[in-house]
Amino acid sequence: MKSEDKKSSVGIQIPVKNIKIHQPKQDENYKPRDQIYVRKVKGFFQQFRQKMNFVFLAVFAVLPWLQYNGHQAILFDIAEQRFTLWGLTLWPQDLTLLAWLFILSAFLLFFVTTFLGRVWCGYLCPQTVWTFIFIWFEEKIEGTANQRKALDNQKLNFNKFWRKALKHFCWLLFSIITSLTFAGYFVPVEQVFIDFFTFNMSLGLAAVVWFFAFCTYGNAGWMREIMCLHMCPYARFQSAMFDKDTLTVTYDYNRGENRGPRSRKQDPKKLELGDCIDCNLCVHVCPTGIDIRNGLQYECINCGACVDACDGVMDRMNYDRGLIRYTTEHELEGKKVHFIRPKLIGYALVLTIMTVLLVMEIVNRKPVSIDIIRDRTELAKENFNGEIENVYTLKILNKSQTDNRYRLSVKGINNPVWNGEQEVTVKAASVFTLPMSLTVDPFELDGYMTDITFVIELVSDEDEVVVEHESRFFNKR
């Protein structure tokens, strides 16, 4: 068969990019389950990551303690079925706002990933932040990566015992504080800390606190990269948002190969070597234990540790920086990089539209709502005066952060008599239940059922909030 016939029978061939994989000799016996001893590295990206981690941790720790108008500024009170966000109180009826917020956050993540790759994982992901905090405890107590490895290979002695015991004590203490702070977003934070340290915490809340504490201890202390590699769904689908113009941590293969050791005075061109001296520092500083020189991998969290490590080596060798850097596939191929592209514009457009819709819904949100519950035992009854009476229960929800007084009325029916309070005071962020009834002369009713509307108005000199709720008034058959 001719070559043309073979091509036509196979169909369109998909181009395959071959990546040469080089494994250093000292890592040939590396096992996937071997513990990773992350080596400390200094550089611009690590300083930036540490500052971002500090900001994230500070925000997480401080937010539950902030007060607004005499109450906790941020409180997701599941027991009372209300979420407080500064001056905004969200109830189950307002869950559409949370849905908009989650959708907006998702598209923001898509936008950032398309532009900057997996930077969320490297700089702001709680798993990464807490893992590096736990590694910091290791470095302070057990020493450098080589010292920690040597300590683990020693037989149990007093030096090893007290260092390991102190490390795990610090891990557990930090996990407990983390768990108590997290619980403070759902239960008043002062109550959480006081009840915990005075042993007055309820069994259910104590179980939640200890469960989350042990999860933090296990995830950041023991599992670490396992969470990123095998349990995080973002690691699996983030590549779908990448394209050839996405900024990712990348090894410049053309410049680095062939790799090999040499002295600082030797000319790599005469040795037919590239700029990579095969020192493996990029592997030693990686929190997920990968070799970035093997190409783009889903395990890479874009933390930039290998970039700083490689730049330090390049400086010592008097080579140009950037052998490993944040770059795009098009740039490595010598092509023009398109930072503004259709996919990015699409995400930005969706983000803008959703932000506008969210703001509009918050602005147009009524600070009060009313639910009408009819008497289910009897739709209508005739009183001793021969009038038709319908019984209702009004549930008035004050969504604002201040106590308000409301005026109630009804329209859509002629000459109704309101039996019950028509002006009520509802406390801030609470529900007021008002039983009442309407009586109407049967001669005012045209049929078996009449559409009516309950109206609630804010009694105030400054402004009035009018909320209407439709209901029915039934006649006797």
pLDDT for residue 179 is more than 50: yes
pLDDT digits (tens, 9 = 90+) for 89-119: 888 878 788 888 888 998 999 999 999 888 9
Q: Which of 301, 359, 355, 361 is nearest to 105 (CA)?
A: 355
Calculate the alpha carbon distances from 248 to 12, 17, 257, 292, 437 in Å: 30, 18, 20, 11, 67
Angle subtended at Cα 242 by Cα 240 and Cα 244, rounded to the nearest 5 degrees? 135
Closest among 425, 206, 293 to 19, alpha carbons compared:
293
SS3 call for 426: strand
Q: Which of 205, 245, 474 is nearest to 337 (CA)?
A: 245
Residue 254 vs residues 124, 158, 249: alpha-carbon distances, Å? 32, 51, 15
Q: What would the pLDDT profile of 121-175 be if each residue is shown by its tens digit?
A: 999 899 999 999 999 999 999 999 999 999 999 999 999 999 999 999 999 999 9
pLDDT digits (tens, 9 = 90+) for 354-389: 999 888 888 888 888 899 999 888 888 988 888 999
Instruction: State whether residue 300 is helix, strand or coil.
Output: coil
Is the pLDDT reported for residue 6 higher than 70? no
Q: How many residues belong to the chain?
A: 477
Q: Which domains are assigned to the chain?
A: 37-90+125-223 (no CATH), 368-474 (2.60.40.10)
Query: What does the alpha-carbon distance between residue 172 and residue 178 come to, in Å, rounded to a whole number?
Result: 10
Give the span between the Cα atoms of 447 and 316, in whole angstroms: 94
Contacts of 238 (CB under 8 A, 6+ apart): 113, 117, 118, 298
Instruction: Find the angle CA(285)-CA(299)-CA(328) to the nearest 5 degrees.
Output: 90
Rounded Cα distance between 134 and 170, Å, is 9
The whole-chain average pLDDT of the chain stands at: 88
Mean pLDDT of the 201-219 span: 95
Chain-centre distance of CA 130, in angstroms?
A: 15
Tell me the C-alpha distance between 149 and 424, whole Å. 70
